[in-house]
Amino acid sequence: MAISAKRYTPTGIAAVSSSLINSSLSAAERRAGARAILRSGQQDTDHFETGTSGGLHPAYVGLHGRGDNAPEERREIKNVLKDSLGDVFDAITTLDRLDGGLSLLIRCPGHQGPTSLNIANAHNTTLDVYASPRELVEGGQALSKSIALIIQSFGTNIALPFLGRFVQRCKAENVNVPLAPRPGKQLKIDGPSHLPDAESDGGIHLRCRCHSGSAVALAQEMSLVQQISKRIQDEDTVRPPPRSEPPEPPSDKKGNKRVPRKSAADGFEGAIISIGVRTDGVLDRFGLADAVIPRLRVITQTVRSSRWEHTLRNGDLALSYEQAANLSRAMERDLGVTSEASGAQMISCSLITQVALAAIVVLVVAVFIFPGSYLRLAFNIFFYDPQRPQCGTKNLYLKEQG
């Protein structure tokens, strides 16, 4: 039987390999030669030949059968497919080296596709990719981005519809649909390279897995991430280097240096929140800085309200009497509290009022009871003025008695 009549199957490859008897060739080299002989001239054969209408090419059925092969046969078929893909990569790499060209190969093996062929399921599509390694390195991030977008477009617009047609061909041929291959590495949104690493060190075989959505959406996402990265780099570039010495603390409106924060109990809890409109009014009136507010909060939490004024005057704020008095009263009103001092003042005022009322009652009674000089004596008693001469009140009283 002529070599051209043998099939591209594990048995056919072994038969051709055995005919290439040469002690200088290894078994792998003889098998590679056999595969090259068997695939020679395939580009000129009928590409539309099928065993069944709407089915698969006879070469597929010749290798896979009905898809119900024994485990050992499935391993041999898998090795043939792997070696054949390696042959393609070897051939295209050799061609790039021979003519100095640039090649990009993207292929999708026939297998069971996702249940829905919508582009939202494109992330389940894995593609075998070859790109000239030297060009990828010298082309940098821009070239890797362009190729990644081509791969994404191929996966969503070409591979997904193809998988749907492949499944229909398997059904027409009445063969089992192969399972999806092992997932590849997903295309990278951020650089410096948008392509995954090769399957092996120094290799040229890239197994790329697409993203969900269209290539346009992926391009927009890549551009957005790139803009954000560039902005961060620009900020790091213009950011001044750290000072070797700590900066001086800022000053308030009076020129006093603000003391740096010493502990979590100094009243600073993030934003400076006003105590109330009355307190803000007093601060603005006396030109006190907003930095005083956290200190006021500490005072309200650690000092009883009756001593707020004293603390404001004699504490670290050292306010004047007028400032402390107005500020403490404003704080009491804003916080809705009544200090002990205010309560004492209210009690004192109440007692004075009661005494004054009693004195008026006594005076009115004296008008009706005491005649003449006794009325004048009563006025001297209740309206005593130390600056006015008393005209001998005691002698007058004795004279009247006499």
- Structure tokens that stand for 330 in this block: 């404003």
Mean pLDDT of 26-49: 82
Written as one letter, the residue type at 182 is R
Rg of the chain over Cα atoms, rounded to whole angstroms, equals 50
Which residues lie across from 251 on neighbouring strands? 257
- Structure tokens that stand for 360 in this block: 């008026």
- What pLDDT score was predicted for residue 38? 82
* Mean pLDDT taken over the chain: 78
Report helix, strand and coil shares of the chain as percent, to nearest 5: 55, 5, 40
Cβ-Cβ contacts under 8 Å for 83 (sequence gap 6 or more): 31, 32, 35
Q: At what angle do helices 321-335 and 277-286 cross, to 10 degrees?
A: 160
C-alpha dihedral over 380, 386, 391, 392, to 10 degrees? 90
More confident position, 163 or 28: 163
- What pLDDT score was predicted for residue 391? 46
pLDDT band at residue 243 using 50, 70 and 90 as cut-offs: low
pLDDT band at residue 374 using 50, 70 and 90 as cut-offs: low
Residue in 88, 122, 90 with CA at minimum distance from that of residue 106: 88
- What pLDDT score was predicted for residue 20? 74
- What pLDDT score was predicted for residue 334? 85
How many other C-beta atoms can be found within 10 angstroms of the C-beta atom of residue 380? 16
CA 96 and chain centroid, separation: 44
Task: Give yes or no for a cis peptide into 161 (omega within 30° of 0).
Answer: no
Q: What gap in Å lies between CA 390 and CA 361, rounded to an integer?
A: 24
Q: Where are the domains of the chain?
A: 80-236, 277-337, 349-401
Cβ-Cβ contacts under 8 Å for 202 (sequence gap 6 or more): none
302-305: list long-range contacts, CB under 8 Å, 24+ apart. 304/339, 304/340, 305/332, 305/337, 305/338, 305/339, 305/340
How many other C-beta atoms can be found within 10 angstroms of the C-beta atom of residue 348? 10
What is the helix (H) or strand (E) element at residue 36, kind and residue range?
helix 27-39
Q: What is the DSSP string of 218-241?
A: HHHHHHHHHHHHHHHHHHHHHSPP
> Among 81-85, 113-117, 161-165, which stretch is predicted with the lowest mean pLDDT?
113-117
- What pLDDT score was predicted for residue 251? 57
- What pLDDT score was predicted for residue 115? 82
Token pair 């995954």 is found at 196
Please write the tens of the pLDDT for every residue from 275-312. 888 888 888 888 888 888 888 888 888 888 888 888 88
How many other C-beta atoms can be found within 10 angstroms of the C-beta atom of residue 50? 16
- What pLDDT score was predicted for residue 232? 73
Cβ-Cβ contacts under 8 Å for 21 (sequence gap 6 or more): none
Which residues lie across from 106 on neighbouring strands? 129
